[in-house]
Structure 1
Amino acid sequence: MGNLFTNKKKIRNWKRRVRNVHKWKKSYLHLDLEQLLKNEKTHLKIWIDPWYRLARRNPPHWLRKIMFEGLTEICLNWKKQLDELKEPYDLQIWLYDPNFINSEVVVAIRGSLESYNRTFNKASNIKDFPKEYYLSSQFLSELEWGHYLEEDYYFLTLDDLTDTEVDKLKNRAIVEEVIFNNGSSKDTCFRINKGDVWVATVKA
């Protein structure tokens, strides 16, 4: 399968692309609290054409900085609204590298409060957040970052893997036993590393 995040196709009219980022930010700057209270969690991705399509593409680095600024501003504005609820919440930014266009803001409350904390595995070789890429952001100092892994998961039984597929996965994957249904069933999981995820929370 080819790289879904390629930038080979030429993009024109960059001024319009920047305007689209600002329109996206303005559209989602205010959190829909009614919907959040109903569903107990929500998320916001960088739903901006032509980058976020079925075949996703990473924007150039200069445009990523503008998108990153939008994500952080949205996150901090959501925090102000969430503080007014006077109840616990979990608000995070997920910044993917190298698959930047997958980045998003997530928030959970009440019965779903812990749901996003089980999404990623902690990186064993911890890196420092690459601040040099985002030094121009006026909001960078307000966030704390943790280093996690973006991974694909394949299950021996659940995915009905063939011997050939297992042999290929063994050469690339972290292999571990996993337990489902409160211990009533087990399976073998193959974890394929796709990159890094930087998880941010707002400093207290």
Structure 2
Amino acid sequence: MANPFVNKKKVRGWKRRIREVDMWKNNYLHLDIEELNRTQRKYLKIWLDPWNRLVKRTPPVWFSRIILQALLDVYNAWYKKLKATGEPFYLKIWLYSPNFVHSQVVCAVGDALNYYDDTFDKGTVRKEFPTKFSNLPNIESLEWELCLDSITYWDSELKENIAEGYETISSYNNIVQRSYASGQMKLSYGNDTYYKIKVGDVWLGSLNATK
């Protein structure tokens, strides 16, 4: 299957795109604590054209490093503001691989402090942190935890898609066989079976809040 995050169409105007990264970063360096206390959660995604269009594109490695450095700068600025409050907080960089354009800085406080605790399943295979990012300034000061980037499919939706002609029995069986985890969950409409398919890795990076 072709990787939907790869697009070979030539990208032009790199100097302008580098400036856009700086403007994007500068717009989010300041964390409004009062607003955060009202909303309980805040995140910064890679809202940069052409990478975040409907059909996602993977930036070249050198440009991904520039974007990740911007996320690190925002993370450090938010960390200082949150640390100064003296209150507990959740603050992590979610670094996706190979789906880099999904990477983001994520924050939660108050009643939402544990909102993201079960977002990802833990990685089961030992891997080294991606070497293409390993020498970015200050990146080693963060502790990085490997988790799974996955898609969850629901049995009822898959069977409904088969009935409506959007899914085949063969593709349904393929999802069931490829799933690394499955089980039943009680939802608002009743019990349903889920299947999780791994599509990549996600590294969760954070500073030790006690430092």
Same topology, TM > 0.5: yes
| Code of the aligned partner of 2:64 | R
TM-score, L = length of structure 1: 0.91
Q: How does 1:1-204 map to 2 (within 5 A)?
A: 3-130=3-130, 132-157=131-156, 159-161=158-160, 162=162, 164=169, 165-180=171-186, 185-203=190-208, 204=211
Aligned identity (percent) is: 38
Cα distance in 1, alignment partners of residues 9 and 86 from structure 2: 48
Q: Alpha-carbon deviations, 1:71-114, whole Å to 9, x = none?
A: 11100110111112221101000000000010000000111101
Cα distance in 2, alignment partners of residues 35 and 159 from structure 1: 40
Structure 1 segments, 4+ long, off by >4 Å, are none
Cα distance in 2, alignment partners of residues 139 and 28 from structure 1: 19
Cα distance in 1, alignment partners of residues 138 and 13 from structure 2: 28
Cα distance in 2, alignment partners of residues 91 and 147 from structure 1: 16
Cα distance in 1, alignment partners of residues 207 and 158 from structure 2: 38
SS at match of 1:114: coil
SS at match of 1:115: coil
**1:181 CA drift (Å):** 5.2
Cα distance in 1, alignment partners of residues 79 and 191 from structure 2: 39
TM-score, L = length of structure 2: 0.88
Question: Aligned pair in 2 of structure 1 residues 175, 143: CA closer, same or farther (>3 Å)?
Answer: closer
Q: Alpha-carbon deviations, 1:114-155, whole Å to 9, x = none?
A: 11111100011121212x212442121220000001101011
Root mean square deviation of aligned Cα: 2.0
Q: Alpha-carbon deviations, 1:11-43, whole Å to 9, x = none?
A: 111111111111111111111323211110111
